[in-house]
Amino acid sequence: MERWRGRVALITGCSVGIGAAVAKHLAALGINVVGCARNLEKLTEVAQSIPSPGKGTASSGSFTPVQCDVRDETAVLNVFSLIKAKFGRLDICINNAGLAKTSPLTTGDTDDWRLMLEVNVLGLSIVARESVKLMTESAIAEGHIFNIGSMAGHRLPGSPETNFYSATKFAVRTLTEGLRRELRAEKRPIKVTLISPGIVET
Of the residues 165, 176, 179, 192, only one is catalytic, namely 165
Active site residue 165: yes
Say how many C-beta atoms besides its own lie within 10 A of residue 52's C-beta: 12
Beta strands in the chain (DSSP E): 8-12, 32-37, 63-67, 92-95, 143-148, 190-195
Residue 18 contacts residue 50 (beta carbons within 8 Å): no
Q: How far is CA 71 from CA 116, 117, 150, 162, 167, in A?
A: 10, 9, 20, 21, 18
The set of catalytic residues is: 165
